[in-house]
A and B are shown apart, each in its own frame.
Chain A
């Protein structure tokens, strides 16, 4: 009986964070439902006890059911039968098992049959499911769309659609079209109000839709005839029971093959409006995307963990030159770096999750009652941090999933290139994480403002204000040096940007700046963990700080040497003939 929760002390530790007390208090509204529902917690300890038990089941289902099915699902894949998706047999088993375990609707309110658990638990379940099979996590994790409906939908819509999540209904986030990918403002799928039928009807084509034939779909569509940009788009919810959307084909993908990526044809498909017209992209998709980016962070981390275990196992078993290959510096360095980066990545993922959670809970509460001035200030504070940390964690974790999977395959040598070991699937599955829900390049675009507006810097200063044990003083010194570098880099880039407006100097160095902030922040969050549990985190911290210092030095050197004329040098490629 394997268990991806019990075998991972680091995941368990994330549930013990001091902010959990505040999170649970907010989520449970001071335990207001304790006498209303048999399943509601009576106090903080009671709630934590339930989270632990339920995460243990998630770990068991992931390890015992989903992981063993991963290879078969990757091989079999979904197919289209009579215009609809039929999942691989293993996918069906996974869905049945996870639903039987009651893991649907983790964060939804009890009123809609949810568990009313904090987002931390949902992210955690996603991480463990992704470690078992990232492709399955891709479609199961889409239930976070339900959270968006919970946030913006009418009570009637919520009563209609949310309880199904607990029964295992799957969701889709139906945004992309052939000519509207990263630029969603160009979406053309038409929605018109049919007075006779008293409903919105959808007509058009969507492409690259994960789980496009799911039970419930949130669809971005153009409700305002004649418009061409984001302001004409609204969000609608489509119920698969109408059977008015055909799956034209399923993409033949490189990885996450168990997750059906659909091309959809809408023909007078009835749909209901979510929230206000014209707010589809501007407000609701942004919320959806932010939630999804956290989901991809969890998926990426699950992949890192899976890859690391495969690499470690192979390095111990495989002998060359008379000893297990783990004994060679080239191999143990890769493993050690992977382990340290996973610890830092996990610290960043859950730090982000806590920020998102607190701000979201205040937002929900603000619909129930007026917030106090203090609460409003806190909501604003955490909302800003969530905005800054969400793209940063997506950037780092998805890139880590790729580089760790790459290194762990490298440890396998030629065998890793064969289908005989799971690592080749992990490499393929990881490759999408830094592309979808916004490429790494777009995460940088979202994050760079927080470099220039100082969100990261002020959070680094907040970490500096916390006390660390004396044993971590050397780390604090290193962090101070890295921060000084960061400030210097930002000053130089902003200086040249101001002198040469519109030349794109800041954009050119944006990734270096964001990553530098990220390396410092990850070292900090890991140091805070090492302060609580030195025996578990000191080694990873000592390794990670070396990685961070090297990366920061590299970025600093690049910016130090860079002149604004370099932009012209790099732009010569634009004139290159094909």
Chain B
């Protein structure tokens, strides 16, 4: 029985859209990233926890965080290292810029192929785009099975994984062979906190670009000295892609228009507070599947 697994976690640095102010969107209808703090995408933290639990159970397993983004996205990789990840790869290149979910998935799948893990675990969706497409598309590009809406990994061996899925109308337990892609729901276990000792060990971990920007810093000096402080930084060339599938060129999505959706009251009903009326309402709601 296999005792060590190589796990890649997909993580994205996102603007914190949970407490948005009026300047959250640009006039062009895209997210105003400058106005919102950059955070670790919440469901990617659930994915990281799922991966770390495998590592806890099978010592010797490794958790590598793969993220695509600008240089400052190295922050999510460090954050993951503070929580237990072994290291990470930041995919960063101007050639990736302007990517929609398809081009993003393509780039990530190229990097994942190079990393050759036993499994990829990702959050279900990111809170900026809310598409829930990237994890699934990565699986498609790799030709691997995918299990979405995962809530808990129940069992794992070298042949496959048993996963509990949280669906709208209940739960489902499925099995899949390895390698596979799992996308994890927010209802899965919360991620463990950053760990004090890991913070002190890894706080100076840098990507080469960061180290080069401040060559005289203690961080740069430490990174030069210790392998474990070097976060990999891969440009497009490192993952050997088909250039036409990258960035803006590889992105068929075009935003045509943004509309504000305002929920409007269409019809209303006035009920008396009697048992009869309430019973009738409950029956109606059950029939329309609003309840139950």
Interface residues of A (CB under 8 A from B): 38-43, 46, 49-50, 53-54, 57, 60-61, 97, 100-103, 115
Contacts and interface: CB of A to CB of B under 8 A. Distances in A.
Contacts of B192: 97, 100-101
Contact of A54 (B196, B201, B226): B196
Contacts of B222: 42
A39 B200 contact: yes
22 contacts: A38-B200, A38-B201, A38-B226, A39-B197, A39-B200, A39-B201, A41-B200, A42-B218, A43-B218, A50-B200, A50-B203, A53-B194, A54-B200, A57-B199, A100-B192, A100-B195, A101-B193, A102-B198, A102-B199, A115-B196, A115-B197, A115-B200
A97 B199 CA distance: 16
Nearest to A42: B218
Nearest to B84: A100
A38 B226 CA distance: 10
Contact of A61 (B193, B200, B201): B193
Contacts of A43: 218
Contacts of A38: 200-201, 226
A61 B195 CA distance: 11
A97 B193 contact: yes
What 8 pairs across the A-B complex have the smallest Cβ distances?
A102-B196, A39-B200, A102-B195, A101-B193, A54-B196, A38-B201, A100-B192, A102-B197
Contact of B218 (A46, A60, A61, A102): A46
B196 A57 contact: yes
Contact of B196 (A40, A41, A103): A103
Contacts of B196: 54, 57, 101-103, 115
B218 A54 contact: no
A42 B229 CA distance: 15
Given A42-B218, A46-B218, A101 B203 contact: no
Nearest to B226: A38
A309 to B, nearest CB: 19
B228 to A, nearest CB: 8
Contacts of B199: 50, 53-54, 57, 102
A61 B193 CA distance: 7
Contacts of A46: 218
- The SS class assigned to the B binding surface is helix
Contacts of B194: 53, 57, 101
Most buried by A among B196, B197, B203, B222: B196
A101 B201 contact: no
Given A102-B196, A102-B199, 7 more contacts: A39-B200, A39-B201, A41-B200, A97-B193, A100-B192, A101-B195, A115-B200
Contacts of A102: 195-199
Contacts of A115: 196-197, 200
A49 B203 contact: yes
A67 to B, nearest CB: 14
A39 B200 CA distance: 5
B193 A100 contact: yes
Interface residues of B, number: 14
Interface of B: 192-201, 203, 218, 222, 226
Nearest to B18: A1
Contacts, number: 48
B223 to A, nearest CB: 13
Nearest to A166: B197
Q: By CB atoms of chain A within 10 A, which of B194, B203, B226 has the most?
A: B194
Nearest to B42: A1
A100 B193 CA distance: 7
A59 to B, nearest CB: 11
A53 B203 contact: yes
A115 B196 CA distance: 8
Contacts of A40: 200
Contacts of A61: 193
B18 to A, nearest CB: 9
Nearest to B83: A100
Contacts of B197: 39, 102, 115
B134 to A, nearest CB: 24
Contacts of A53: 194, 199, 203
Contacts of B198: 102
A130 to B, nearest CB: 19
Interface centre among A39, A41, A42, A115 (most CB of B within 10 A): A39
Contacts of B195: 57, 100-102
A38 B203 CA distance: 11
A165 to B, nearest CB: 13
A408 to B, nearest CB: 27
B94 to A, nearest CB: 32
A49 B194 CA distance: 15
A49 B222 CA distance: 15
Nearest to A47: B200
Nearest to B201: A38
B132 to A, nearest CB: 23
Contacts of B226: 38
A103 B198 CA distance: 11
Nearest to B195: A102
Contacts of A49: 203
A41 B222 CA distance: 12
A38 B194 CA distance: 17
B59 to A, nearest CB: 16
B200 A60 contact: no
B282 to A, nearest CB: 29
A102 B83 CA distance: 10
Nearest to A65: B193
A100 B222 CA distance: 26
Contacts of B218: 42-43, 46
Contacts of B201: 38-39
Nearest to A53: B199
Give the one of B194, B195, B197, B226 with max A CB within 10 A: B197
B189 to A, nearest CB: 12
A530 to B, nearest CB: 31
A40 B204 CA distance: 12
Q: Which of B193, B195, B199, B222 has the most chain A CB within a 10 Å cutoff? A: B193
Given A42-B218, A46-B218, A57 B193 contact: yes
Contacts of A60: 193
Nearest to A106: B196
Contacts of A101: 192-196
Contacts of A42: 218, 222
Contacts of A54: 196, 199-200
A102 B201 CA distance: 12
A31 to B, nearest CB: 12
Nearest to B221: A42
Contacts of A41: 200
A101 B192 CA distance: 8
A124 to B, nearest CB: 13
A60 B203 CA distance: 18
A112 to B, nearest CB: 13
A42 to B, nearest CB: 6
A50 B196 CA distance: 8
Contacts of A97: 192-193
A322 to B, nearest CB: 29
Contacts of B193: 57, 60-61, 97, 100-101
B197 to A, nearest CB: 5
Nearest to B192: A100
A46 B222 CA distance: 12
A10 B194 CA distance: 23
